[in-house]
């Protein structure tokens, strides 16, 4: 894998934040390390709070790993609307396949 991957976070308002992330860290960690507002990550990546919810409708199909049952259950508790493309960013690992991927941050996480 390369040294740094560019990923983007887009707010529902349209504002886009581009960050550089190391392969292997979670998408949530990339957001937190780059002070991306809207990714609260209250549980620190333990998949028990749903405050790192993102919409992955702008991520190429087949790039993300299959959702675990634990993640699926937690997304049912997310405060923002759950969509077919909803994922918890703490469960997604940065890799070369995510180069230029866009993750949409819901309007609210609480």
Cβ neighbours of residue 15 closer than 8 Å, sequence gap 6 or more: none
Question: Does residue 54 have a pLDDT over 70?
Answer: yes
Give the start-to-end residue ranges of the domains of the chain: 5-105
The upper half-sphere exposure of residue 23, i.e. CA atoms within 13 Å in the direction of its Cβ, equals: 9
Q: Which has more pLDDT, 18 or 108?
A: 18
Instruction: Tell me what pLDDT residue 74 has.
Output: 96
5-105: which CATH topology?
Ubiquitin-like (UB roll) (3.10.20)
Instruction: Tell me what pLDDT residue 34 has.
Output: 97
Instruction: Tell me what pLDDT residue 1 has.
Output: 43
Percent of the chain with pLDDT over 90: 90
Q: Cβ distance 81 to 106 under 8 Å?
A: yes
d(CA 71, CA 92): 11
Instruction: Tell me what pLDDT residue 2 has.
Output: 52
What kind and span of H or E run contains 1? none
C-alpha 100: how far from chain center: 13
């Amino acid at each position: 894998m390369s040294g740094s991957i560019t990923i983007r976070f887009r707010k529902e308002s349209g504002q886009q934040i581009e960050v550089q992330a190391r392969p292997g860290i979670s998408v949530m960690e990339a957001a937190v390390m780059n002070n991306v507002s809207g990714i609260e990550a209250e549980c620190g990546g333990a998949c028990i709070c749903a405050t790192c919810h993102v919409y992955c409708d702008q991520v190429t199909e087949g790039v993300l790993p299959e959702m675990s049952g634990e993640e699926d259950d937690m997304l049912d508790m997310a405060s923002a609307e759950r969509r077919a493309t909803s994922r918890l960013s703490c469960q997604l690992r940065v890799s070369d396949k995510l180069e230029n991927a866009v993750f949409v941050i819901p309007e609210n996480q609480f």
